[in-house]
Amino acid sequence: MKFSNLLFYIDYITGMDDVTPSYQDIQLNRAEEQKSFSLRGWGFVENTTSERNLYLAFLEENNRRKPVIVPLYPIPRSDVKEIYPNSPTGIAFEKIISSHDFSVKEAGRYHLVLMAYNPADSLAGCAFLNWSVEVNNYRIMDITHRDIPLETQKYFYEFYERQAHKEWVPVWEKFDEEWYMRTYPLVKERMQMFDMTCVEEFYREIGSGLGHSPNPYFDEVWYAKKYPDIYKKVLESDYKSGFIYYCLKGYEENHSPTPLFYEDYYLAENTDLTKDVLENAALSNGYEHFILYGDRENRRCHYLYDSRSLEKNLQKQEIPLSERGPYTTYRALPVEKLRHIRPSVYFDPEWYEKHYPEVKEAIAHKHYDTALQHYLENSEPMHYSPLEWFDEGFYLQHNPDIVTFIHSGVIRNGYEHFLRWGAKELRQPCESVNLQDYYHTHPEAKEEIDSGVYKDIFARWLVMEKGVAY
């Protein structure tokens, strides 16, 4: 690998007090409750013009766990660049990182590595800062000048080689300023009230506490409902937000970040995505794989999502498709455009609103954004049917064996059971549809399902018999 010349000089680190500055002129100051610290300094990176591809890695000593990578948002500093007149291409910067929260870190000692990455020409570099942070009981105990052990350096270089072909921070972790301002239009006014100029700083300090999401890949409000135990910890100030928990722990616990992506479901449906495969590709979890690759490969991430069907619905609405695929396009859409878009053949929002007028009224009063959101989040999941040709009450009555799984929380309702297992078993979705007869009278269906044309016989019946776009 070819490395760029990465030069770095630390002015000071805030985080602990009563520590004598070292020869590197590092000043340490205790942060409130010892939960965070800030790193400031200046540096210069040759052969890159990007100011958005600098990162800080936290390596746990004597542990080969994947490093925690956080993005840096540097402020250009022209006087530093003047020191290096022989390097016309490069960036100089200061203000390396502010207030990285360590309150949820596992106990241990973490070493700091500054990194530069340029995806345009694959040039990258790193500098070991020889400073480490000791954490215990969710508090910073010490920040000291300390050389990084050779074994830890070796592991980092192995990780670095695997990671070099992609961005350091998972796409689901990045703050999306444009989407954020469009989604929360009152932010601009509130930033003026608090005399703030940085949108991401507003999100971290204020917006996250208001239940805001940082990007279209994570739904803060839904996450709180899905994982009430985590939300309780947020209320008790153990975590600033559900998003912070997901970034630090939740992604490793196979939590689902949005209503239409289930990590466990994705890994179960795509058995080739083993832990080793994801690690060798430097992917944090199945969700990152899905966003970068899986959606365009038509991999299934939720029983109510199908990329091909969604793509056709987006085209029907004349909505340009994101290069990352239908899911990214759908998640980034304004609420007013989401309402009548079908993410799969298995849910009909127009029928749902017509059949349940109270849902239409709830959307009008902004209790829900869409019919699909209501279906996935309402507190009585066994009381609603998703489309005309599936009757929740009928299915539960004729399949009493699944009620126990619903009450135990394994599945949400009868329809989830039907789409995950029942359709494959040719169970009857409603009184007027007999899938066993349909399957046996259409011998070509088996080959179409086996080859992936249709997920199941119910999807084929909806498309061929009812003309649902697929």
Rounded to whole angstroms, what are the CA distances from 347 to 184, 371, 384, 389? 28, 9, 12, 10
Those residues with Cβ within 8 angstroms of residue 9's Cβ, 6 or more apart along the chain or in another chain: 24, 41, 42, 43
Domain co-membership, 84 together with 226 = no
**Total tally of structural domains belonging to the chain:** 3
Confidence band (pLDDT; 50, 70, 90) for 56? confident
Question: Does residue 255 have a pLDDT over 80?
Answer: yes
- Would you say residue 22 lies in a domain? yes
pLDDT (0 to 100) of residue 166 = 62
Q: What is the mean pLDDT of the chain?
A: 80
The residue ranking higher by pLDDT, 237 or 359, is 359
Out of 230, 258, 286, a domain closes at 258
- Would you say residue 269 lies in a domain? no
Least confident of 43-57, 249-263, 287-301: 43-57
**Which among 125, 118, 133, 112 has a CA at the least distance from the CA of 10?**
112
Q: Is 225 exposed, middle or buried (0-12, 13-18, 19+ CB in 10 A)?
A: middle
Question: Does residue 290 have a pLDDT over 90?
Answer: yes
Question: Does residue 283 have a pLDDT over 80?
Answer: yes
Confidence band (pLDDT; 50, 70, 90) for 41? low
User: Once rounded to an integer, what is the mean pLDDT over residues 179-186?
Assistant: 95
In three-state secondary structure terms, 81 is: helix
- Would you say residue 374 lies in a domain? yes
Q: Determine phi and psi for 33, rounding to 5 degrees.
A: 60, 10
- 385 is written with which tokens? 């049917």
For 326-380, what is each residue's pLDDT tens digit?
999 999 999 888 888 999 999 999 999 999 999 999 999 989 999 999 999 999 9
- Would you say residue 120 lies in a domain? yes
Q: Determine phi and psi for 56, rounding to 5 degrees.
A: -120, 130
Rounded to whole angstroms, what are the CA distances from 232 to 205, 225, 239, 259? 19, 10, 9, 20
- Would you say residue 207 lies in a domain? yes
136 beta partners: 139
- Count the alpha carbons within 13 Å of 423 in the hemisphere toward its beta carbon: 20
- Would you say residue 100 lies in a domain? yes
pLDDT (0 to 100) of residue 469 = 76
What is the distance between the alpha carbons of residues 329 and 77, in angstroms, rounded to a whole number?
36
For 14-24, what is each residue's pLDDT tens digit?
333 332 222 23
Those residues with Cβ within 8 angstroms of residue 39's Cβ, 6 or more apart along the chain or in another chain: 10, 13, 14, 56, 96, 97, 100, 112
What is the distance between the alpha carbons of residues 113 and 59, in angstroms, rounded to a whole number?
8
Domain co-membership, 25 together with 150 = yes
- Would you say residue 86 lies in a domain? yes
Question: Does residue 460 have a pLDDT over 90?
Answer: yes
Domain co-membership, 156 together with 249 = no
What is the distance between the alpha carbons of residues 282 and 44, in angstroms, rounded to a whole number?
27
pTM: 0.75
Domain co-membership, 189 together with 126 = no
Domain co-membership, 57 together with 119 = yes
Confidence band (pLDDT; 50, 70, 90) for 73? low
For 130-149, what is each residue's pLDDT tens digit?
667 777 665 666 777 777 88
Domain co-membership, 200 together with 74 = no
User: Once rounded to an integer, what is the mean pLDDT over residues 198-207?
Assistant: 89
Domain co-membership, 20 together with 159 = yes
What is the distance between the alpha carbons of residues 400 and 409, in angstroms, rounded to a whole number?
16
Domain co-membership, 52 together with 149 = yes
- Residue 400 belongs to domain spanning: 345-466
DSSP classification of residue 257 = S
Out of 243, 258, 273, a domain closes at 258
- Would you say residue 340 lies in a domain? no
111 beta partners: 59, 132
Out of 168, 188, 222, a domain closes at 168
